[in-house]
Structures are given as C-alpha cells and as structure tokens.
Structure 1
Amino acid sequence: MFALKLFAVLGCGLVAGVFFAFSTFVMPALARLKPQEGILAMQSINITVINPLFMTALFGTAVVCLFLVIFCLLKWHYSASIYLLVGSLLYIVGTVGVTIAFNVPLNDALAKVDRSSAEGASLWAEYLTNWTLWNHVRTIAASAATTALAIALRY
C-alpha cells in the first residue's frame, strides 16, 4: 500500500508541476507570439505531449488513484482513508476529468484551424484564455491531490 500511495504522490506532484509550468510561463510566452506562431507552437506541443512518459504520468496516476478510491470504499476504517479518497478524487475529477472535458476539446479545435486566417487569430485569443483557465484548475487540483496524498503517507 505504501508503494501505491508513494506512486500517487509522485505522479500527482509531477503532473501538477507540468501544469504549473504551463500556467506560469509557457502560455504567457505563447501569448506574446503572433497568433500564427503561437498556434503553430501549441499545435506542436499538443502532438509531442502524447508520448509514453507523459501519458504514463497522467493516466497511470489516475489508475492508481482509482485503485485507492476503491480501497477506501472497501476499507473505510483505514486511518488514511479520507486523505486517500479526497486526494484521489481531486486528481481523477479535477485533473484528468478537466483535461478530457475541457482542455482536449480546445486542443482538437486548435488542431483544425487555419493558423493564418482571421478565424485562427480569433480562436487563438479565446484558446489562450479558456485553455489557461482550465489549466489553472488542473494545476490546483493536482497540487491539492498531492498534498492530501502526501498526508496519507504518514499513516
């Protein structure tokens, strides 16, 4: 059980760090570019992010968190159950759920746009605002999940 909790803490923390980087300097840097350049850069990022290491961190952590939720529901008397449950749900819903429901559809729309068109420039302006907002949510959720799961390591 310790190994699963440790993997969840490290995974949540790693993902929180990636999202934090995007919120604090990657997206602001892309916003400084001309729309065509920003779109091209983000389209490239959205392709290269789909790799085994990041997907394992993002979704492997979710699988471990799902296992921890099931464990908590079956062993509610376990002293760390509330921390495991809260941390795991924050990650599953607030990080992976938000990614699937909000960030991925925005990425899909960006992938289809003609970056040299007026529509592209308009979409880029909206994308920067909306994608970054949802990324802030993911960052906070993953950071809070890391905290709750780290507390659970005490037990």
Structure 2
Amino acid sequence: MEKWIVSLTYFSALGAGLMAGLFFAFSTFVMTALERIPKSHGISAMQSINQTILNPLFGLVFGGTALACLVLAIISFFRLGTVSANLVLAASLLYLIGVILITMVCNVPLNDALAVVDPNSAAGADVWRTYLDRWLPWNHVRTIASIGSLVLFILALRFKS
C-alpha cells in the first residue's frame, strides 16, 4: 500500500470508529433516556440534537469518512486479490452502505418528519412513537456497520502489502 492510501485507511478507520461511538451511544442509552422523559421533552431534545449535529466537525467525520471510503473502494476494486485490498473494499462498502445509505434512506426521513411537529401536540406524540419504533433499529444497523467497518480497516492495516 502506498503511504497516502495507508493514511486514508487510517483516517477511514478513525472516522468509522468515531461514528460507531456516536451510534453506540444513541443505541444504548440516549434514545432510552429520551423515551423515559415526557414526550414533548423527548421530541424537543431530539429536534435540538438533529439541528445541532449538522456542524462542520460532524460533517468532516461523517462525510469525510464517506468520501475517503469511496476513494478507497475504487482503488481497492482494482487491486482485488490482496488481503489488504479485499479488506479495505469490504470496510469501505460496509461504511458506505451500512452507515451512509441507511442514514439517508431510513434515518433522515424520520428526522425530517420529527422536525416539523409541535412537541406538545397529539400528532407530535404519534410521530414520536413511530420515530422511536423505526429510528432506533436502523441506528442499531448503523452501529454494527460502523463497528464492522472499523474492524475491517484495522485488519487491512495489519495485512497491508
């Protein structure tokens, strides 16, 4: 592996690890805590989280990792056959599909629906129940995918050639 590919792989491993930690926190205690408080407070808190998470640092980690994975996937595809290239391709695709695609197709539409409700309304309570029932399982998928991607990137670095 050339030095810049190794560096991009380290960056991707770090990004996948940071995303794994974020998703893990939501899967294991944040959403449970929000579900335990009054609905209007849970809705308001999640609306605030969804607004404030869209910042440059989060964008760098979430989107930068996706961009790095896209580059690594393309490079690795043309180097298939080596253990490191196979692992980098698998790690990259796992992040792109299990984190980015799932986020865009499953979690973001739920976030968008929650963003427009009045936290104190009956409709807001209905959207919140649906949100909790659907958002969290998809977050579990993102958690597992980002952890898997991290592990595969680490293994790729171990077997770099």
Is the 8 Å Cα contact of residues 72 and 78 (structure 1) preserved in structure 2?
Answer: no
One-letter identity of the residue aligned with 1:133: P
Question: Following the alignment from structure 2 to structure 1, what is the Cα–Cα distance between the partners of residues 142 and 58?
Answer: 15
Is the 8 Å Cα contact of residues 113 and 120 (structure 1) preserved in structure 2?
Answer: yes
Of residues 131, 144, 150, the one that matches 1:146 is: 150
User: SS where residue 110 of structure 1 aligns?
Assistant: helix
Farther-moved stretch of structure 1 (128-137 vs 73-82): 73-82
2:59 is the counterpart of 1:85: no
Deviation per CA, 1:80-126: give whole Å up to 9, x if none: 11101111000000001100001110000001112111111111011
Deviation per CA, 1:65-88: give whole Å up to 9, x if none: 000110011222443111011110
2:27 is the counterpart of 1:18: no
Measured on the aligned residues, the alpha-carbon RMSD in Å equals 0.9
2:76 is the counterpart of 1:72: yes
Is the 8 Å Cα contact of residues 95 and 138 (structure 1) preserved in structure 2?
Answer: yes
TM-score normalised by the chain length of structure 2: 0.94
Q: CA deviation at 1:26?
A: 0.6
Percent of aligned pairs with the same residue? 50
TM-score normalised by the chain length of structure 1: 0.97
Is the 8 Å Cα contact of residues 8 and 149 (structure 1) preserved in structure 2?
Answer: yes
Question: Following the alignment from structure 1 to structure 2, what is the Cα–Cα distance between the partners of residues 75 and 23?
Answer: 36
Q: Which runs of 5+ in 2 are unaligned?
A: none
Of residues 126, 132, 139, the one that matches 1:128 is: 132
Q: Which runs of 5+ in 1 are unaligned?
A: none
User: SS where residue 80 of structure 1 aligns?
Assistant: helix
Deviation per CA, 1:15-47: give whole Å up to 9, x if none: 010000011111000001111100000000000
Q: CA deviation at 1:11?
A: 0.5
The count of residues paired between Structure 1 and Structure 2 equals 155
One-letter identity of the residue aligned with 1:33: I
Deviation per CA, 1:48-77: give whole Å up to 9, x if none: 000011111001000000001100112224
Question: Following the alignment from structure 2 to structure 1, what is the Cα–Cα distance between the partners of residues 42 and 81?
Answer: 51
Question: Following the alignment from structure 1 to structure 2, what is the Cα–Cα distance between the partners of residues 77 and 130?
Answer: 39
Report the equivalent of 2:8: 4
